Structure 1
Amino acid sequence: MLKIAVIGANGKSGRLIVAEALRRGYDVTAVVRSENQSEARNVLVKDVMALTKEDLSPFDVVVDALGFWTAETIPLHITTAEHLCDLLSGTGKRFYVVGGAGSLWLDPQHTRQVVDEPSFPKEYFPLADAQRRQVAAVKARSDVLWTYVSPAAAFLPDAPATGKYVLGSDDFSVNANGESMVSYADYALAMVDLIANGGHAHEQVSVRS
């Protein structure tokens, strides 16, 4: 049975990933800074930057579901991902990151990302730019079995689960209606499918409806 640690299990995506992994019978531990709000019965209360190699040693899979939203904390997307990579370096454990859509590529030459578009909402730029730097930092690590999982541009917390999704590459894509969207629930389904199936090491993938 896979042993999975979900760091940031109290967040919206983290809680759904925990629930989906538990539904499939996996051994799941919620790693949280405060009282656990997920369905996990196994809980480690500890700040991510205080985690050690020993803390993560029992797990086969580590999921980074952390989210930082204020001007002061947004840079922690990079800092925490680098810290987790350092802890997992050379261990052979699989590392999955809940990412953003801003880093997806818009052209075949991979010179323009979604966040570079003039129409990109200015209020979301700091977060998207931090996540772009986050994925660049993760992609630089050949010593970690990472997979960076970007949602669609419209990442919808309250949309219903459909049980369907399209798994893509690190290129931006849209559905038949020209839309880029996915519910948190369908994203969680895709994330646990990725964990269950393995593969996609050292790849950024995307999930949309």
Structure 2
Amino acid sequence: MTRIHILGGTGYAGRQIVAEAARRGHQVTSFSRSIPTEQTPGVEYRAGDVQDPAYLASVFTDTDVVISALSTRGGLAGEGRMRALVAAEAELAAGHGVRLGVMGGAGSLQAEEGGPDWSTCPTSSRKPGPNPSNSPAPSITCARTPTTALTGS
């Protein structure tokens, strides 16, 4: 059984990683700003601020793998903040002999102004759309009414 610590374990991608890792029988600890009211059975939850060096360092102890599924919102919004945090994560992982995986957050951003918010558009609502750029990649739209735009850096 692998010991997996997940930073941002209550966010959009993180909570899905937490649930799947627990389902597969791994020992999972979720690290986030707050403890969720709905928890995945068998998962340990710890709350804190990843910008606190002691809290961040605790993520890399007593584990085999750390997955960073953090968002560039809140205290991590702003140019260079996420990059600095990922650099600190890499240094901690190397120092503790821990494998590190970093998840990107592009799925929570809008591809264009007024476009769909992919974090709230269920896969079943995604439909082929126009391809004005003649890109070889197909265009996809959200068949639901768009929600308020999310912004990120």
Which TM-score applies when normalising by structure 2?
0.62
Relative distance call for 1:158 and 1:123 in structure 2 (3 A) is: closer
How far 1:89 moved relative to its partner? 1.9
1:31-84 superposed Cα distances (whole Å, 9 cap, x missing partner)? 112223542631222211223545412111101111023697233321221221
Contact 2:9–2:30 (CA under 8 A) maintained in structure 1: yes
The 1-side partners of 2:62 and 2:76 are apart by 32
The 1-side partners of 2:76 and 2:45 are apart by 27
Percentage of pairs with the same residue: 28
Question: Which range moves more in the overlay, 85-94 or 18-27?
Answer: 85-94
Matched residue type, 1:58: D
1:159 — aligned with what?
122
The 2-side partners of 1:9 and 1:20 are apart by 12
2:45 — aligned with what?
43
The 2-side partners of 1:180 and 1:78 are apart by 29
Relative distance call for 1:98 and 1:72 in structure 2 (3 A) is: closer
Correspondence 1:23 to 2:3: no
1:79 to 77, 84, 89: 84
Q: How many residues align?
A: 121
Contact 1:3–1:61 (CA under 8 A) maintained in structure 2: yes
1:168 — aligned with what?
none
Contact 1:8–1:66 (CA under 8 A) maintained in structure 2: yes
Relative distance call for 1:34 and 1:70 in structure 2 (3 A) is: closer
Superposed, which structure 2 residues align to 1:58-207 within 5 Å?
58-69=62-73, 73-75=77-79, 76-101=81-106, 121=112, 155-160=118-123, 174=137, 178-179=138-139
Gaps of 5+ in 1: 103-119, 125-153, 162-172, 182-209
The 1-side partners of 2:114 and 2:75 are apart by 11
Relative distance call for 1:159 and 1:58 in structure 2 (3 A) is: same
Correspondence 1:57 to 2:61: yes
Secondary structure at the aligned position of 1:89 is classed as: helix
Which TM-score applies when normalising by structure 1?
0.47
How far 1:179 moved relative to its partner? 4.2
The 2-side partners of 1:49 and 1:155 are apart by 27
The 2-side partners of 1:73 and 1:79 are apart by 12
Relative distance call for 1:2 and 1:158 in structure 2 (3 A) is: farther
1:12 — aligned with what?
12
The 1-side partners of 2:47 and 2:74 are apart by 22
How far 1:123 moved relative to its partner? 8.9
After superposition, the CA RMSD in angstroms is 3.3
